[in-house]
Amino acid sequence: MFTIGIDYGTNSVRALVVRTSDGAELGPAVVDYPSGHQGVLLDPKDHHLARQHPGDYLLGLEKSVKAALAQARKAKGFDARKVVGLGVDTTGSSPIPVDKNNRALALDPRWEKNLAAQCWLWKDHTSHREAAQITALAAKHRPHFIAKCGNTYSSEWFWAKIWHALNVAPKVFAAAHSWVELCDWVPSVLAGVTDPVQIKRGVCAAGHKALYSDEWGGLPDKEFLALLDPKLADLRDRLYIKAHDAGEAAGTLCTSWAKTLGLPAGIPIAIGEFDVHYGAIGSGVTEGTLVKVIGTSTCDCGVVSAAKTVADIPGICGIVKGAILPGYYGIEAGQSAVGDIFKWYVEGLLRDVKLHAKLTAEAAKLKPGQSGLLALDWNNGNRTILVDQLLTGLLVGQTLYTTQAEIYRALIEATAFGARAIIERIREYGVPIERVVCAGGIAEKNPLLMQIYADVTGCTMLVAGSSQACALGAAVSAAVLADAHKDFASAQRKMTRLKPGVAYKPKAANQTIYNQLYALYRQLHDSFGGVNQSADLSNIMKDLLAIKAATHA
Amino acid sequence: MFTIGIDYGTNSVRALVVRTSDGAELGPAVVDYPSGHQGVLLDPKDHHLARQHPGDYLLGLEKSVKAALAQARKAKGFDARKVVGLGVDTTGSSPIPVDKNNRALALDPRWEKNLAAQCWLWKDHTSHREAAQITALAAKHRPHFIAKCGNTYSSEWFWAKIWHALNVAPKVFAAAHSWVELCDWVPSVLAGVTDPVQIKRGVCAAGHKALYSDEWGGLPDKEFLALLDPKLADLRDRLYIKAHDAGEAAGTLCTSWAKTLGLPAGIPIAIGEFDVHYGAIGSGVTEGTLVKVIGTSTCDCGVVSAAKTVADIPGICGIVKGAILPGYYGIEAGQSAVGDIFKWYVEGLLRDVKLHAKLTAEAAKLKPGQSGLLALDWNNGNRTILVDQLLTGLLVGQTLYTTQAEIYRALIEATAFGARAIIERIREYGVPIERVVCAGGIAEKNPLLMQIYADVTGCTMLVAGSSQACALGAAVSAAVLADAHKDFASAQRKMTRLKPGVAYKPKAANQTIYNQLYALYRQLHDSFGGVNQSADLSNIMKDLLAIKAATHA
């Protein structure tokens, strides 16, 4: 038996055929989104804007699944008739305005060119004002709404984006019958759902991005939404009453798409989850394991048994029951930019894509602290633990002799310090982290970064066995649904693995220096992040010089 | 009649033949120092070290003066017999260890290769520990010593360097009979002085760098020096009793050098001054005029009538009677790196010397505040107003879209903010600054920088008429000494001028934005510089983003 995981990333979609008995991967097939700049529609006047054309998703769906099947057919024993389920994961929060028939508005020629009618990609930050207002209104009127998402509602999220659309593109808002998260929309399309209110939406997106909780009866009440705008209160009826965890199916494959893809009609489609959540499953997340998906940005996922009580953790994006695994609280944290910072530095600033390898090699020769530099990893704001998009990058310690490689290493270290801040915060609130499993291209290809992460966090860094952990997790979910395994735990045991023989262990000598640097990082973090409003930073430059001098001693 | 100004810079020496009647310049002739990296002896293990081989000075002296004379001979009416005086300016504090015969120690084959036996170039910061100790000892025992140099003794200065030599190279210290500032040594060589104690030393170097003042009887007393090291107290007797202003001659040209150079023996040699001090004279410094010599670093010079009372100004490097013009207090301030920061960024970091022009053109198209960036200009420490070498650079406001040109402009702006901090501090203490005259290559060639300086400081920026303001000032001093003019004021009126038709006036709209940015700069400056030890920096990133957003509105 086989299942297919379909993973919608920021620039491309990939389909992965997986054998349910042992997790063997037959694929994957990757299709780049054809529209915009690397699949993203931009506005040169506003760097906060990032949209995506929904037509790209459908085109990519057909092309990637067909290509994956074509590849799988080369493997012994494969037959498309043996595909027993599909799972989908996507970026998010990436809401799409749809019409009464669940057609994405941008697929209608009238709205095709309108940026507000597209999918509002996760990294779109145009709604930071609305997010701040939601935070303020919730703090005043419904503090429990935001207590579970770190007391701050983000500009990346569902309501802020829809409210911003209402504010800047009222005609688009009026034309939209409903708004659907990309992770719910693709399964609904595969299932042939033609009424958006009938879509079986996942609690992952609902709980993490739309203030949904069974505790208060689902989505935010109308009275609260009316405080934002009465039109958002009206919209509530056209969204959903209940959201579901991965214990249930989003639907079954409709005849039309079955024919298009060459798959059996009626096979179950897993509830849609965000890429990192299925990625966590595909990386073997269990209680005590933190999964870090390290890419352009980073998402950190953990789970805690739903039988336990989990306190709200300040600054953690969300603690949502069933968001990752059924029967567990899902805990999500993240850094708004990691790979994107290195990419900006090397390609945007130094303008030479080939320098990545050279600078990595040079940076690897440097000792911790040797550069005298310290950076904040906030070039794209801070998601966890400050939840503030209006923060920016910082570099301190430059002399007239600072080199390219020194800055490169300082930027890697900055993201490691950000990762440590997250781990420390989660632990502070009683959630144990016993091991860290990393997934994503950077985790696989950059031993320097992995060693720095180990040295900075003090945790051994393991690497997920699959390069397609997100798609694999979606395929795991489909396999459980199709009864190929009795539950997620046994499906994960059979279908997921760690990269054999790879474990980056903290080196004591490096840890000592990084503890000193992390203390300085926290001084900057707390001061520029507004945690400490009477900071003494007079030691920063001198301490960096002293640490640097000590590495030469 | 003609005089010759000889200007010893960091990488080369230039000689300029000047007509005393109208300041017409016949030359200049430039000779690069042959030793080390661009004339500077470095230590790859310690970026604080910068030395220079004294042999280069003698070689450069002969070559440059001969070449200048050869050029001058092409001009109508010139004859070497009409040369009536010589003036010398140099970098400083650049002390040279010499033997009993006033021979630089490094000219002795025994010491030739020893880095401690060379000239300790102004930008050598190896003695920062000694400087800090001198500051602490003076604060406790002789607070008046350092009150005139901003309450902080710098690692760039005379006693710190000599004490460091004693600490790290005791044999060199023992071999040195005396130590002579480069600006005093070259005139003494030309005058044929063979006993270092007989050298007529200038109050410029003495007052600004060696804690010399007539108020307390010259150099620091032996009791104080013994607190540093008894050997420094012993050295005092082998230095000098009295230092002189430019009202007196350092000596007359000795027969031997007259013959070597092809000049009349016995003509007067002006008292040596630092390059920027003679540069201030060559740029027309008078009471109310601030002269900024903008190069790798920046020196700011002003004068106040010695008939007035001038308060000590915290953070200002030195207020020394007679240091620039006889009869006036000389006030010196400066920034440790200006051109050097741009050079580091473009050549060191971006690794493309050709980018200077391109980035200047791109940066010129940006509006103030548009980049969202803010930098501190401390890559080489801060000379004025914090007097702290153990400070480093800082850049804040980076996003994933920050460009090369945006950072370039932010670095220019940072140096402009540093310049404003100096002007504001001097004015706060009652010294009027009515006009600013800039000299140096950057002032002449970079209209973007000059306009930013005007917009940031609110002062009209004028440019010195001579590209060789330092050498011209030395030639003016020689002309007064040779009675070609009755005093400095009339010599300056005849021999110096502004660049005609050039005046960068502040633009009101830009000033408004730069006032906002300067307030943020001062927040960073005061926090990282230790002025404010309970700072709230939570607004910095948000304010920068708001200023940026406003430029797009």
What span, in angstroms and rounded, lies between the C-alpha atoms of A501 and A485? 27
**B83-90 and B273-274 as β-strands: parallel, antiparallel, unpaired?**
parallel
- Is B392 in Cβ contact with A399 (below 8 Å)? yes
CA–CA distance from B370 to each of A340, A396, A522, B285 (Å)?
Answer: 22, 21, 29, 36
- State how far residue A184 is from chain B, nearest Cα, in angstroms: 30
The pLDDT assigned to A312 comes to 80
Using one digit for the tens of pLDDT, what is the confidence trace for B334-367? 999 999 999 999 999 999 999 999 999 999 999 9
Q: How many CB pairs under 8 A join A and B?
A: 148
Cα Rg, chain B, nearest whole Å: 23
CA distance B155 to chain A (A): 15
Residue B62 has pLDDT above 70, yes or no: yes
Residue ranges, chain A, pLDDT below 70: 150, 317
State whether B402 and A344 contact (CB < 8 Å). yes
The mean per-residue pLDDT over the stretch B439-456 comes to: 95
Task: Determine the distance in angstroms separating the CA of A392 from the nearest CA of chain B, rounded to an integer.
Answer: 5
Tokens of residue B29, six digits: 């002739």
Task: Write out the two tokens for A70.
Answer: 């074509």
Q: Do A379 and B397 touch (CB under 8 A)?
A: no
- What is the rounded CA–CA span in Å between residue B87 and residue B94? 18
Please indicate whether, in this complex, the C-beta atoms of A379 and B398 are within 8 angstroms of each other: yes
Structure tokens at B287: 């009471």
Q: Return the higher-pLDDT residue of B296 and A290.
A: A290
- Tell me if chain A has a CB within 8 Å of the CB of B351: yes
Q: Which among A48, A297, A355, A400 is the top mutation candidate for probing chain B, defined by the most B β-carbons within 10 Å of its own β-carbon?
A: A400
Asked whether the beta carbons of residue A535 and residue B527 sit closer than 8 angstroms, the reply is yes
Q: Which domains does chain A have, with CATH numbers?
A: 2-274 (3.30.420.40), 284-464+507-553 (3.30.420.40)
Residue A336: name the closest of A155, A209, A181 by CA.
A155
B550, B367 contact by CB (below 8 A): no
Candidate from A349, A401, A528 with C-beta closest to B538: A528
* Chain-chain contact of A537 with B541 (C-beta, under 8 angstroms): no
CA distance A363 to A373: 13
Taking the CA of residue A552 and the nearest CA in chain B, the distance in Å comes to 8
Nearest residue in chain B measured CA to CA from A406: B349
CA atoms within 13 A on the CB side of B249: 18
| Nearest chain B residue to A552, by CA | B45
Structure tokens at B27: 């030359």
Distance CA A254, CA B37 (A): 75
Cα–Cα dist B92/A209, whole Å: 63
The whole-number pLDDT of residue B417 equals 98
Three-class secondary structure of residue B438 per DSSP? strand
Classify each residue of B194-226 as buried b or exposed e, where b means 16 or more C-beta atoms within 10 Å of its C-beta.
eebeebbbbbbbbbbbbbbbeeeebbbeeebbe
Residues whose CB is less than 8 angstroms from the CB of residue A289 and which lie 6 or more positions away in sequence, other chains included: A302, A433, A434, A435, A436, A437
Q: B511, B514, B533, B513: which is closest to B523 by C-alpha?
A: B533
- Nearest chain B residue to A346 by CA: give it: B350
Residue with tokens 């915290």: B314
Q: Does A536 touch chain B (CB under 8 A)?
A: yes
Q: How far is A25 from chain B (nearest CA, A)?
A: 35
C-alpha count within 13 angstroms, C-beta hemisphere, residue B72: 29
CA-to-CA distance for B42 and A89, rounded, in angstroms?
Answer: 58
ipTM > 0.90 (yes/no)? no
| CA–CA dist B495, B493 (Å, integer) | 6
Residue A35 has a CB neighbour count (10 Å cut-off) of: 18
Residue B147 has pLDDT above 90, yes or no: no
Note whether A348 contacts B541, CB cutoff 8 Å: no
B20 residue type, one letter: T
pLDDT at site B110: 97
Question: Between the CA atoms of A233, A238, A243 and A247, what dihedral angle is there, to the nearest 10 degrees?
Answer: 180
Task: Dump pLDDT digits (tens) for B91-146.
Answer: 999 999 999 999 999 999 999 999 999 999 999 999 999 999 999 999 999 999 98
CA distance B415 to chain A (A): 14
% residues pLDDT > 70 (chain B): 100
CA B174 – CA B170 distance, rounded (Å): 6
How far is B7 from B16, CA to CA, in rounded Å? Answer: 8
- What's the mean pLDDT in B533-540? 98
Contacts of A358 (CB under 8 A, 6+ apart): none
For A:16-75, CB contacts with B below 8 A are: 45-47
Q: How far is CA A337 from CA A379, A387, A388, A434, A545, in A?
A: 7, 13, 13, 25, 27
B398/A contact by beta carbon, under 8 A: yes
Residues of A whose CB is below 8 A from B527: 527, 535, 537-538
Of A382, A470, A388, A455, the C-alpha closest to A422 is A382
The gap between the terminal CA atoms of chain A, to the nearest Å, is 62
Q: Is B400 in Cβ contact with A341 (below 8 Å)?
A: yes
- Closest C-alpha among A399, A394, A128 to residue B540: A394
DSSP labels, B518-550: HHHHHHHHHHHTTS-SSB--TTHHHHHHHHHHH
pLDDT at A318: 75
The pLDDT value given to residue A147:
82
Helices A469-481 and A275-282: crossing angle, nearest 10°? Answer: 80
Cα maximum dimension of chain A: 72
Which phi and psi (to 5°) does residue B402 adopt? -60, 135
Among residues B314, B313, B318, which one has the least CA distance to residue B332? B318
Number of neighbours of residue B293 by Cβ within 10 angstroms:
29
Integer Cα distance of A382 and A377 in angstroms: 8
Alpha helices per DSSP H over B229-378: 230-236, 255-261, 275-282, 339-343, 355-364
| CB contact at 8 A, B299 and B293 | yes
Contact B402 A45 (CB under 8 A): no
* A394: contact with B, CB 8 A cutoff: yes
Token pair of A115, please?
């940026």
Q: Distance from A348 to chain B by nearest Cα, in Å?
A: 7
Q: How many CB atoms lie within 10 A of CB A380?
A: 26
Q: How many residues does chain A have?
A: 553
Distance CA B33, CA A7 (A): 64
* B461 burial type by CB count under 10 A (0-12 exposed, 13-18 middle, 19+ buried): buried
d(CA B137, CA B146): 10
Angle B68-B252-B29 from CA coordinates, rounded to 5°: 10
Element (DSSP H or E) covering residue B46 = strand B46-52
Exposure string of A217-237, with b = 16+ CB inside 10 Å and e = fewer, is ebbbeeebbebbbeebbebbe
CB distance A465 to A18 below 8 Å: no
Q: What is the DSSP string of A286-335?
A: -TTEEEEEESSSEEEEEEEETTS-----TT-SEEEETSSSTTEEEEEEEE
Round to whole Å and give the CA distance between B461 and B457.
9
Question: If we measure between CA atoms, which residue out of A290, A307, A275 comes closest to residue A435?
Answer: A290
Q: For residue B337, give the nearest of A400, A407, A542 by CB distance.
A: A400
- Give CA–CA dist B348/B455, Å, rounded: 28
Distances (CA, A) of A261 to A85, A88, A90: 13, 15, 19
B342 → chain A, closest CA residue: A400
**What one-character-per-residue DSSP string does A489-511 give?**
HHHHHHH--EEEEEEEPPPHHHH
**Residue B163: CB partners within 8 Å, gap ≥ 6?**
B127, B130, B134, B228, B229, B232
* A399 interfacial to chain B (CB closer than 8 Å): yes
User: Which pLDDT tens digit goes with each residue over B458-480?
Assistant: 999 999 999 999 999 999 999 99
- Closest CA relative to residue B406, chosen from B454, B366, B441: B366
Which residues in A lie closer than 8 A to residue B537 (C-beta atoms)?
Answer: 527-528, 535, 537
Which of A402, A530, A536 shows the shortest C-beta gap to B538?
Answer: A530
Surface of B (251-310) touching A: CB under 8 A: none
CB contact under 8 A, B528 and A534: no
Quick check: B174 contacting A, CB < 8 Å? no
pTM for this model (two decimals): 0.88
Strands lying side by side in the sheet with A46-52:
A41-43, A46-52, A119-120
Residue A47: strand, helix, or coil: strand
Nearest CA of chain B to the CA of A344: how many Å?
5
Q: Compute the average pLDDT of residues B543-551.
A: 96
**Spatial separation of the C-alpha atoms in residues A422 and A294, rounded to whole Å:** 14
pLDDT at B148 over 80: no
Task: Inspect the interface and report whether the beta carbons of B398 and A396 lie closer than 8 Å.
Answer: no
B206 Cβ under 8 Å from any chain A Cβ: no
DSSP string spanning B144-189? HHHHTTTT---TTSHHHHHHHHHHH-HHHHHH-SEEEEHHHHHHHH
Give residues with Cβ within 8 angstroms of A372, minimum separation 6.
A397, A399, A402, A406, A544, A545, A547, A548, B392
* B384-395 core/surface letters (b: 16 or more CB in 10 A; e: else): bbbbbbbbbbbb
